[in-house]
Structures are given as structure tokens and as C-alpha cells.
Amino acid sequence: MTRVLIADDSETILLLLRRRLELAGYDVTSAADGQEVMEVMNSGNEDPDLLLLDAMMPRKSGIDALADLREAGVETPALIVSAHQSGSDAGAPPDLEVSGYLAKPIDFDDLLGRIEKLTGS
């Protein structure tokens, strides 16, 4: 089963994402901020096929977390969710390796289509 790691500081959004992704048949792990994302990834217990990160989170943002992961050599495809429509608007460095950006409110048809394309499932 395709595993997706989701991160958002809003529990409601996390619940929504989990419900929607599980309904589509994905295995979902969640994190409340970038710090937790790093912990999950560093624990070695999880090896997600895709990261779905909120751009803005307290403690550590999704963009910072992804930048650290890329630094550490993690190449897992990643989608960034933000209130903005493009990467530069979301404040991501231009050379950050991101598979795509999603604007809030999330268009789930678009999201699921992209996940399918990125994970091949």
C-alpha cells in the first residue's frame, strides 16, 4: 500500500486529509509540524512514498523540513500545500526540489491525481 506522510498544524485539516486519502486507499501517517516530520523520517520506522506538507507551520515549516530532508539526501516526492498558488509566493527557495504546490482550499481531485502520478498507484 502506498504510504503518504501528511503534515499540518491544524488537526481538522489533518483529519480531513487522512479521511480523504484513506478513502482513496492510501496508508496515511500524520505530523503536526516540521519537527515531527523530521522525527518520523529519522525514526526509520516509516518510509513514506510521498510527503504532503503544509508550507507554514509553527516550530518548523514544511518548506524548512523538506529543505533539511533534501540536504540529508531524502528524495521522496513531496507536495507543498500553501495558501499561495506558486512556490515563490509560498516562500520556498527556488532550487528546492518540490514535486508541486497546492493551494488552499485543496482541490482533492487535483491532489489525488497528482499523488497517483507521483507514486504510480
Quote the cell numbers at residue 57. Answer: 507551520
Q: For another protein, which residue of 42, 58, 83, 116 counts as binding (CB under 8 A)?
A: 83
According to CB under 8 A, which one of 12, 44, 45, 75 is a site residue for another protein? Answer: 12
Q: Is 91 in the site for another protein (CB under 8 A)?
A: no
- Give CA separation, 58 vs 31, 32, 35, 64, in Å: 12, 9, 9, 11
Burial class (CB in 10 A: 0-12, 13-18, 19+), 79: buried
Site string for another protein, 13-52 (x = CB under 8 A): x--xx-xx--x-----------------------------
| Contact between 86 and another protein per CB under 8 A | no
Chain residues 45-64 in contact with another protein, contact rule CB under 8 A: none
Residue numbers 100-119 binding another protein by CB under 8 A = 104-106, 108
- d(CA 61, CA 98) in angstroms, rounded, equals 14
Q: How many CA atoms lie within 13 A of 31 on its CB side?
A: 28
Binding stretches for another protein (CB under 8 A): 10, 12-13, 16-17, 19-20, 23, 83, 104-106, 108
